[in-house]
A = this chain, B = another copy of it.
Amino acid sequence: MPDAYSSLILPDVRLMITEEDRHGLSEFCQVLHPVVVATILDELQPREVWAVLDHADLRLRVEIFEYIALRRQAELVDELDKRRLSELLEEMSPDDRVDLLSRMPHDRVEDLLPLIAQAERNDIRRLLSYDEDSAGSIMTTEYASLPAKITVSDALQQLRQQAPDSETIYYVYILNSARRLEGLISLRELILAKPETRLADIMQQDVVRMRVDEDREDVVQELARYNFIAMPIVDADDRLVGIVTHDDAMDVVQEEATEDAYRQGAVEPLKDDYEDTPVLTILWKRGIWLLALSIVALMTAGVLDLYGTATAEGGARFGDAPAELTRTLILLFIPLVMASGGNAGSQSATLFIRMFALQPPDAAVPGTEFHVDRQLVMRELLIAASLGILLAVMDFLVVWLWFGLGVDRSAVVGVTVFLIVILGTSAGTMLPILFRRLGMDPAIMSNPLIAAIVDVLGVVIFYEVAMLLL
């Protein structure tokens, strides 16, 4: 299978690059499926990637390049001069090209556009203008279209000419002279029809279509509902402006599911896969929610404090005995401690479980799986330590200055929160890994279950820290 396979080929490819083996590299690009080539290139440095791709002709080079992840594509084009880059962009399919351009620095794009042919340039400007959640942002402008009045045999002839520049020719859209969508005919229907039949007589009318400004999620839902290979996209005047193909729709479904999973676990959605996202970005996307949730938990402490004072004898907040002090401190801040640990743990579990769900079946190259996991766990712990310090400092300051509970008791809360965030993250990271290793569904480690497990240990840590410091 591709991935375990690719690790076997990698040393050969490196050797061919070192030896500048033009013939070998050209064959490597041609013989394997472009997806497999792209997977292998993922393991190389940008310079090495181009040393390989330069030996494929432009068309194949672009095909392979389009299977590389967007973030990585943007890295790779940094290595190219303007001429080679404009050549690459001209050949790319319109939707992939625009995705890449919107990842590149604005200056560079403006620099490049004059080098690109007029037709492509207009196409780029139009596609770039659509909202990033709209149908326009995921459609391609390379579709097959024919007039209604021609015969089936003429249609097949014209389709052969359109094929190289069409993303799919399995659906052919019938347009009138104003480019309005009048009908649809599938290639299946075309080859079953008699050659002399006119398209107008066999085409499907009342074609399902969507508007270019509709939400991309809605477009994908409708494409799935009708089992379409492609959904036609029209402008406000019902003129066909593009199509959304099944493979791009599939990507959107996966992206939206990931976004929803992240939201559910209180992580702001990431632009790239979790593994490829820089630590600072993850810190921000998680920290913003952890902070917000901690503020609500501090409000809970405030409410507990009010009731505690109200119900205490003589309105006294704390008794004198040290034991009672500890218990009251614990009472006030146990919700904060538990929320901090549970939320950090939910975030980690969410990120890991979704990462596992999206990995190709053979991502685990024998012998390297453990290594990869350990790296990711170490990164999680680094993130947890940073988030833990952030929350600990905020909580310490609030307990000290707002609740006025003195430096020592505030320190107990701060230290406990720091430790519980580390603990929660460890649980949220390792339990899904453990379940996966055992061949079980890591998703069983739900947010509430992680939180529940962390709660029990949170009590222990809180009391132990309190007894140590007070």
List residues of A whose CB falls within 8 A of some B CB.
Answer: 2, 33, 35, 156, 159-160, 163, 169-170, 187-188, 191-192, 206, 208, 214-215, 217-218, 221-222, 224-229, 246-247, 249-251, 253-254, 256-257, 259-261, 263-266, 289, 292-293, 296-297, 299-300, 303-304, 307-308, 311-313, 321, 323-324, 326-328, 330-331, 334-335, 338-339, 342-343, 346, 350, 353-354, 357-361, 441, 443-444, 446-449, 451-453, 455-456, 458-460, 463, 467
Contacts and interface: CB of A to CB of B under 8 A. Distances in A.
A360 to B, nearest CB: 6
A453 B328 CA distance: 22
B264 A264 contact: yes
Contacts of A303: 456, 459-460
A321 B314 CA distance: 12
User: What are the 8 A-B residue pairs with the smallest beta carbon separation, nearest first?
Assistant: A257-B257, A218-B361, A227-B247, A263-B443, A296-B452, A266-B446, A307-B463, A266-B448
B263 A444 contact: yes
Given A169-B188, A187-B191, A311-B326, 4 more contacts: A35-B225, A253-B253, A260-B357, A292-B449
Nearest to A443: B263
A470 B247 CA distance: 63
Contacts of A187: 170, 187-188, 191
B307 A459 contact: yes
A160 B33 CA distance: 29
A338 B301 CA distance: 13
Contacts of A160: 191-192
28 contacts: A35-B225, A156-B191, A187-B188, A214-B361, A218-B361, A222-B361, A224-B251, A253-B253, A253-B254, A264-B264, A264-B265, A264-B446, A289-B446, A293-B448, A296-B449, A296-B452, A297-B452, A297-B455, A303-B456, A304-B334, A308-B327, A312-B323, A334-B335, A335-B455, A338-B338, A339-B448, A339-B455, A447-B447
Contact of A339 (B208, B261, B452): B452
A156 to B, nearest CB: 6
A191 B191 contact: yes
Contact of A447 (B2, B169, B448): B448
Given A296-B455, A327-B308, A330-B331, A447 B264 contact: yes
Contacts of A300: 452, 455-456, 458-459
A28 to B, nearest CB: 14
A21 B318 CA distance: 82
Contacts of A304: 330, 334, 459
A385 to B, nearest CB: 20
Contacts of A447: 264-266, 346, 447-448
B253 A246 contact: no
Contacts of A444: 263
Contacts of A339: 448, 451-452, 455
Contact of A296 (B206, B225, B343, B456): B456
